[in-house]
Amino acid sequence: MSRRGGGGVAGCQRTPAEPRGAAARFEGVANLGIIGRTAALEQWKAVRGEAAGCKRCPLYANATQTVFGEGPRGAHTMLVGEQPGDKEDIAGKPFVGPAGRILDRALADAGIARDDTYVTNAVKHFKNEPQGKRRIHKKPNVAEIEQCRWWLEHEIRIVKPALIVALGATAARTLLRRNAAIQKERGKAEIGADVVPVFITIHPSALLRLRDHAEREREYRRFVADLTAAKRFLMKKAA
């Protein structure tokens, strides 16, 4: 799909020419905002198909497959996480592991139907370090995030969400093109690089790392409160 080249950003091959297949053919139409639901679905399938063979950075080498986003084209809300985890990498679906179960519960508690949202990640391959039979999660670097931005930008153009919820620092950086202090900026929205409001909160995996039960429950309630505030923001925007 992509052509290799020498040099480039540290930690990733030189940015290749953008794909010249279906993703490129459909881009102009998506930017005009005149595609219907059927055309949007076909566009999404075409871009997902190209992403399946992505080698824009080295992360594909240790991953099982590309994990593309899922959800209705035309969803009002898009949720963007960091990258697929071990379970997602195997299943080929976003947020189906432990963090995904927390997200599902929090969305339900906030009165948001997951089936009405589009869920994806900033990085489409699972970055990991094999240790025996386990694969240990590793945070993607800036170069890897930048190389994968191409696919997220296409998802945003196709889905056309009214609001994007950035789950964690990697998603916030991708969408805002700057570093974000999550704990200071959570619960707030600002216009992102794709001219769509971006609402910042934590990644649900952060809750899995909390060992104290009381603290975990307290932080879970804050997470639900953030999602509820995002829902209110969207309702106010639509009014």
Domain borders along the chain are 22-238
Contact 45, 117 (CB under 8 A): no
Alpha-carbon torsion, ordered 93, 95, 100, 101, to 10 deg: -10
Contact 8, 14 (CB under 8 A): yes
The pTM of the full predicted model, rounded to 2 decimals, is 0.84
pLDDT score, position 130: 87
Alpha-carbon distance 174 to 154, whole Å? 13
Which amino acid appears at position 116 of this protein?
D
pLDDT score, position 40: 87
Q: How far is CA 47 from CA 78, 91, 196, 217, in A?
A: 17, 19, 21, 39
pLDDT score, position 238: 82
| Assigned CATH for 22-238 | 3.40.470.10
Residue that has been written with the tokens 């949007």 in this structure: 40
pLDDT score, position 2: 37
Per-residue model confidence as pLDDT tens for the chain (239 residues): 333 333 333 333 434 445 445 444 444 334 434 447 788 889 999 999 999 999 999 999 999 999 999 999 999 999 999 999 999 999 999 999 999 999 999 999 999 999 999 999 999 999 998 888 889 899 999 999 999 999 999 999 999 999 999 999 999 999 999 999 999 999 999 999 889 999 999 999 999 999 999 999 999 999 999 999 999 999 998 87
Contact 102, 222 (CB under 8 A): no
Residue 11 CB burial class (10 angstroms; 0-12, 13-18, ≥19): middle
